[in-house]
A and B are shown apart, each in its own frame.
Chain A
Amino acid sequence: MEQPLNYIYQKIETLSPMHSKKLKKNIAFFDERYYEQANSFFARYINILHHDHKTLDYSIDCYLRMIADVNSETVEFLRTGKYTSSTFAEVNQRVYARPETMEYYMHGLIMSQFLWKHHYQMLQYFTDTLPQYIKATKSYLEVGVGHGLYLSKALEILNDNTTLTAVDISETSITLAKNFIKDSRINYNLKDIFEFNNRKKYDFITLGEVLEHVEDPLKLLQKLKTLLSDEGILFFTTPTNAPAIDHIYLFNTVGEIQDIIKAAGFEIETERSLLSEEVSPERAAKLKIAILYGAFLKKSKAS
């Protein structure tokens, strides 16, 4: 059988030559590890699609719909300097409460995990760093589980006796993650994180690309601090300048993200800033190109 990646790249080249050029620039960077991981991921993903009577072509269409959304949001962002929505109520109505939109958006996002260099690099950063915390992590929580890829990696890496908990506000996400991971060890909670109080402290919390979806990211980090054990670790990612149909909080610079980390009472163990396009840092700043920021944090001793 043809490798899924080749099929995906060829299909996108036919359907969207302009976008295909961006992907080709990414390909130049990828090594053997990428091809192994991406092909094995897509093989697993295709099984889920088939189970749901869908094909890879369906997902490629979802991905290109998401790209079209991102492009029009980006044009508007460059016109106004703002994201098109600024409240949770707006994006809830526009995206989260619409299963059809959520469906194509989630499948589009899954594809982007291995088609966008910065998404792939961030996943590597997570999977390469998490092993340092295996011993200390008896309980693991992911907030905003999305499609479940990070959670599936945590499940692979962490000890068998670690408890795993997932919280997400979207039923579509939870269903997708359950189908993707298929493991009874995970306790799923369809809930707003602000209403999630089980009096438990977690040794490790993951928050992947969630802060930009909330009105008050500082409040969310503070909430997670209350859920984290004293020596616990919070891994989180969020982008700067990344217009999307459901992004409401705009970080203009990485400095603004670092400020909020400090304000919430955390300190940075390690961090990464990954550019979303193959351009020089100077051009990236001039064109307001998105940077995906990720960091492993611990509670600040001073606070």
Chain B
Amino acid sequence: MDKSEILKTVNDIFIDVLDDDTIVLTYETTANDVEEWDSLNHIQLVVAIEKQFRIRFTSQEIQSWNNVGELVNSISNRVH
């Protein structure tokens, strides 16, 4: 799966978890750009992404992403 496909899937998960179908993510998107992306929803997003891609992030990773691109990289490192 390439990164653009991962981004598309992550975008769908954001739309579903945050219940907002206007969300359009790019690699540069941060929590400041998406109003509902707060600490509570971040955890829900992490769990939904893990389920979808059948992966597990480390505790450090969960706290470390500065933007969607870094999140996509973490996923990409696990799914080949």
A residues whose Cβ falls under 8 Å from a Cβ of B:
16-19, 21-22, 25, 67-68, 71-72, 74-75, 78-79, 277, 279, 287, 289
Contact of A72 among B30, B32, B40, B62 (CB under 8 A): B62
Interchain CB contact under 8 A, A22 and B50: no
- A17-B31, A72-B59, A79-B50 known; A67+B39 contact, CB < 8 A: yes
Task: Give CA–CA (A238, B55) in the complex, Å.
Answer: 33
Within 8 A of A (CB), among B9-47: 30-32, 37-40, 42-44, 46-47
Task: Give CA–CA (A267, B76) in the complex, Å.
Answer: 55
Task: Give CA–CA (A75, B56) in the complex, Å.
Answer: 10
Interchain CB contact under 8 A, A18 and B47: no
For B57, what are the chain A residues with a Cβ–Cβ distance below 8 Å? 75
Closest CB of chain B to A152's CB: distance in Å?
29
For A287, what are the chain B residues with a Cβ–Cβ distance below 8 Å? 40, 44
Most A C-beta atoms less than 10 A away, residue of B47, B56, B57 = B47
- Chain B interface residue count, CB cutoff 8 Å, equals 18
Closest CB of chain A to B30's CB: distance in Å?
8
For A79, what are the chain B residues with a Cβ–Cβ distance below 8 Å? 47, 50, 56
For A72, what are the chain B residues with a Cβ–Cβ distance below 8 Å? 59, 62-63
For A16, what are the chain B residues with a Cβ–Cβ distance below 8 Å? 39
Most B C-beta atoms less than 10 A away, residue of A21, A22, A25, A289 = A21
Interchain CB contact under 8 A, A75 and B62: yes
Q: Specify the chain A residue showing the minimal Cβ separation from B19.
A: A283
For A75, what are the chain B residues with a Cβ–Cβ distance below 8 Å? 43, 46-47, 57, 59, 62
Q: Specify the chain A residue showing the minimal Cβ separation from B30.
A: A17
Interchain CB contact under 8 A, A22 and B63: no
Interchain CB contact under 8 A, B37 and A18: yes
For B63, what are the chain A residues with a Cβ–Cβ distance below 8 Å? 68, 71-72
A-B pairs with beta carbons under 8 Å apart, 15 shown: A18-B39, A21-B37, A21-B38, A68-B59, A71-B39, A71-B42, A72-B59, A75-B43, A75-B46, A75-B47, A75-B62, A78-B43, A78-B44, A79-B56, A277-B40
Closest CB of chain B to A274's CB: distance in Å?
16
